[in-house]
């Protein structure tokens, strides 16, 4: 018997199980754990030769290539910090709906201090303008929950000389809509220098569930940036 672990983010347990049904399950079983889109798949091989094992594993990785973040059995925050500590980046985070949860998740991991400059909770629209320089035009025309605002939040972080990598979150966690935008709409931006990428999500769930999903996806995009394959998403 042989066990391997795959870590992924962005899918529910039901979605993973549905996509795994296409594989030959003879000699192969799965244990799947998922919490707010952070997923752990334990692959259990029994009675398979090495070639069959390698082929099956490769197919599974290909199936989930947009969501896999590690073959190590590490949660999002631990793996993100491991990558960050082997990089030349100094990270700052700006959070709205996540309210400091991204920063807290990173700071939970020992050793982060050498690569983490600051975390800003700019929850109020005026704070986004004052603390991060988000333009009043963007806030009035696009709103605090928008692709442009998430982008400018990262630009504001990068304006600080000590920061070389920025990560931001803004969205509507609920319980009611804001700016005419529905509950669950979230924008996450990550970038360095002139390269900043913004991702849009529509999450389901209660208020704090949406916030947890946004936090995990932000960590996931940070990982993919540090791995150098953010453009694949």
Per residue in 121-160, pLDDT (tens digit) is: 999 999 999 999 999 999 999 999 999 999 999 999 999 9
What's the rounded Cα separation, in Å, for the pair 132 and 95? 11
Element (H, E) at 29: strand 28-35
Is the pLDDT score of 195 beyond 80? yes
The total of other beta-carbon atoms located within 10 Å of residue 49's CB is 9
Q: In what order do the strands lie in the sheet with 116-121?
A: 116-121, 91-95, 165-171, 185-192, 195-202
Nearest to 178 by CA among 143, 206, 141: 143
Find residue 211's DSSP bridge partners.
none
Domains in the chain, please, with CATH? Answer: 2-70 (3.30.70.2860), 76-232 (3.90.950.20)
Is the pLDDT score of 219 beyond 80? yes
> Span 182-197, mean pLDDT?
97
Residues 6+ apart with CB under 8 A from 203: 184, 186, 209, 210, 213, 214
pTM (predicted TM-score): 0.95
pLDDT score, position 1: 66
Q: Which of 52-56, 157-161, 210-214 has the lowest mean pLDDT?
A: 52-56
What's the rounded Cα separation, in Å, for the pair 82 and 128? 30
pLDDT score, position 232: 46
Is the pLDDT score of 47 beyond 90? no
> Span 101-127, mean pLDDT?
97
pLDDT score, position 57: 81
Q: Which of 51-60, 75-84, 198-207 has the lowest mean pLDDT?
A: 51-60
């Amino acid at each position: 018997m042989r066990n391997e672990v795959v870590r992924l983010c962005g899918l529910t347990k039901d979605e993973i199980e549905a996509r795994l049904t296409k594989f030959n399950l003879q000699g192969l079983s799965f244990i799947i754990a998922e919490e707010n889109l952070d997923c752990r798949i334990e692959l259990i091989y029994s009675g398979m030769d090495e070639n069959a094992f390698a082929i099956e594993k490769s197919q599974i990785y290909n199936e989930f290539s947009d969501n896999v973040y590690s073959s190590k059995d590490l949660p999002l925050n631990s793996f993100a910090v491991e990558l960050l500590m082997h990089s030349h980046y100094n990270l700052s985070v700006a959070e709205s709906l996540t309210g400091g949860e991204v920063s807290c998740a990173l700071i939970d991991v020992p050793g982060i201090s050498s690569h983490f400059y600051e975390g800003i909770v700019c929850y109020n629209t005026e704070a986004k303008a004052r603390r991060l320089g988000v333009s009043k035009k963007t806030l009035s025309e696009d709103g605090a929950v928008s692709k442009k605002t998430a982008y400018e939040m990262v630009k504001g972080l990068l304006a600080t000389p000590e920061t070389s990598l920025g990560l931001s979150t803004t969205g509507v966690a609920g319980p009611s809509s804001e700016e005419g935008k529905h509950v669950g709409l979230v924008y996450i931006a990550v970038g360095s220098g002139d390269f900043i990428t913004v991702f849009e999500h529509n999450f389901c769930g209660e208020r704090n569930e949406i916030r947890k999903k946004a936090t995990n996806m932000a960590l996931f995009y940070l990982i993919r940036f540090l791995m150098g394959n953010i453009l694949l998403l």
